[in-house]
Amino acid sequence: MVKVVKFGGSSLASAEQFMKAGDIVRSDESRRYVVPSAPGKRSSKDTKVTDMLYSCYALAEAGEEFRIPLMKIKDRYDSIINGLQLKTTLEDEFKKIAADFKNKIGVEYAASRGEYLNGIIMADYLGYEFIDAATVIFFDEAGNFDVERTDRVLSKKLETCEKAVIPGFYGAMPDGTIRTFSRGGSDITGSIVAKACRASMYENWTDVSGCLVADPRVIENPQPIKVITYRELRELSYMGASVLHEDAVFPVRKAGIPINIRNTNAPDDDGTLIVESTCQKPEYTITGIAGKKGFVAVNIDKDMMNAEVGFCRKALQAFEEHGISIEHMPSGIDTMTVFVHQAEFEGKEQQVISSLRRLANPDVIDLEADLALIAVVGRGMKSTRGTAGRIFSALAHANINVRMIDQGSSELNIIIGVGNNDFDAAIRAIYDIFVETRL
């Protein structure tokens, strides 16, 4: 049995947190490969090391003095080293970073040093081999992740390495230039390592005990999700749930490797198990609720629309011409509604309307702003009658006007449109009827 363990920034923010992570790794011999993030916040008023690196490099790029901010970053690492009573020294590493910053090596290199330095400390603390991610994770000339080369090189490297630390978040371009994933990309690195070593489990350690049925900022102490499928997680992630970087799912999903979201501060909690499929019946009809605010509904009406071949294509072309991505598109016989992000649409609304008139010649175009979309997701909905009816009943009881409802053919999720002002109340109403009262 081989496990890959990834620790988030909050799990490695201080020497005390490092000790917790070390205890977790040492408690299970199968935890052979460790992927660390950069140190996160030690308190709500603290600053993440990655953000400190961004700020420091911005000074360097502007030709301003950056030595003092860089030394503050070094102090963060020294406090961890001293707290762990290690003999590790990062003096030479920071000399090189200072020289590279002075030569304006690039912002992605700067950002990646947080994980790189934490990896050196973690390897020394555990007594594991350190593998620089730039030597085993690759991007192509266009800056896209090179799946085949990475899997080939990384698999071969891990075959000869019993236990190792591989920093998250970054890799290298063909010319050796450092390239990073998007923020939160250490999740992706962990998934890539798990696939390369054919792990039996990918454990993702963070500061929460797995995924929750709803956002704790909206619902007080929401219930945890014990088991969730990749498809369910993808739906929830897309609509704003942020426990795991959504791109981290794909490498392990293809390899059939389950992911376990665990809490570094409560290691005895089971957390959430993310799997390809399961015969386990979910505890509730729904698995989770997530949503986003800030949408515009573009309502397009035209008599006999259903008989006009290519009408939808023409209408959607108007959005494509102006670089507007489409979120959802419910339709009727003579109407179609296109949901788009308000911030993206507002500056181009008149151009889009003009293009709609030119391309599709609708009878009426109507805009409705300040809308929110809420996804109710669950594999249990398919086998449960009246799920949509219960949602409508709960929202009507809470005096919430439903502006849109859209259910995919998979019956895995139902999307509801409400006003931004009703967003929190809508989530509370849905949570209450499915989780609290279970009517």
Average pLDDT over residues 97-116: 97
Task: Classify 3-207 by CATH class.
Answer: alpha beta
Contact residues for 418 (Cβ-Cβ < 8 A; gap 6+): 371, 372, 374, 395, 400, 401, 402, 403, 426
pLDDT at 387 over 80: yes
Residue for token digits 């490099």? 57
Q: Give the model's confidence band at 439: pLDDT under 50 very low, under 70 low, under 90 confident, else very high.
A: low
pLDDT at 243 over 70: no
The Cα–Cα gap between 264 and 21 comes to: 7
Average pLDDT over residues 7-32: 97
Q: Give the model's confidence band at 410: pLDDT under 50 very low, under 70 low, under 90 confident, else very high.
A: low
Q: Which of 424, 312, 426, 418 is nearest to 368 (CA)?
A: 418
Of 138-142, 184-188, 255-259, the range with the lowest mean pLDDT is 184-188
Predicted local confidence at residue 303, as pLDDT: 92
Average pLDDT over residues 413-420: 92
Q: Where in the chain is the domain with CATH 3.30.2130.10?
A: 288-436
Q: What is the DSSP letter of 402?
A: -
Helix axes 91-102, 67-83, angle to 10 degrees: 160
Q: Rounded to the nearest 10 degrees, how much is the dihedral formed by the CA atoms of 308, 309, 311, 314? A: -140
Q: Which CATH number describes the domain made up of 288-436? A: 3.30.2130.10
Predicted local confidence at residue 122, as pLDDT: 98
pLDDT in tens, 80-89: 999 999 999 9
Beta strand 227-229 pairing with 272-275: parallel
Alpha-carbon dihedral sign for residues 428, 433, 437, 438: negative
The Cα–Cα gap between 384 and 296 comes to: 32
Q: Give the model's confidence band at 259: pLDDT under 50 very low, under 70 low, under 90 confident, else very high.
A: very high
- N residues, the chain: 439
pLDDT in tens, 201-222: 999 999 888 888 999 899 999 9
Beta-strand ranges (E) seen in 84-214 are: 129-130, 164-165, 170-172, 178-180, 201-206
pLDDT at 265 over 80: yes
Q: Where in the chain is the domain with CATH 3.40.1160.10?
A: 3-207
pLDDT at 241 over 80: no
Average pLDDT in the chain: 92
pLDDT in tens, 310-358: 999 999 999 999 999 998 888 888 999 999 999 999 999 999 999 999 9
Q: Give the model's confidence band at 395: pLDDT under 50 very low, under 70 low, under 90 confident, else very high.
A: very high
Q: Give the model's confidence band at 246: pLDDT under 50 very low, under 70 low, under 90 confident, else very high.
A: low
Q: Give the model's confidence band at 438: pLDDT under 50 very low, under 70 low, under 90 confident, else very high.
A: low
Average pLDDT over residues 175-180: 96
Residue 115, both tokens = 């994980």
pLDDT in tens, 299-311: 999 998 888 899 9
Predicted local confidence at residue 420, as pLDDT: 96
Q: Give the strands of the sheet with 413-419, arranged side by side.
A: 326-328, 335-341, 288-301, 364-377, 413-419, 404-407
Of 121-130, 259-268, 273-282, 357-366, the range with the lowest mean pLDDT is 273-282
Q: Give the model's confidence band at 78: pLDDT under 50 very low, under 70 low, under 90 confident, else very high.
A: very high
Of 7-11, 253-257, 372-376, the range with the lowest mean pLDDT is 253-257
Predicted local confidence at residue 239, as pLDDT: 77
Predicted local confidence at residue 409, as pLDDT: 65
Q: Which of 173, 152, 159, 84 is nearest to 121 (CA)?
A: 84
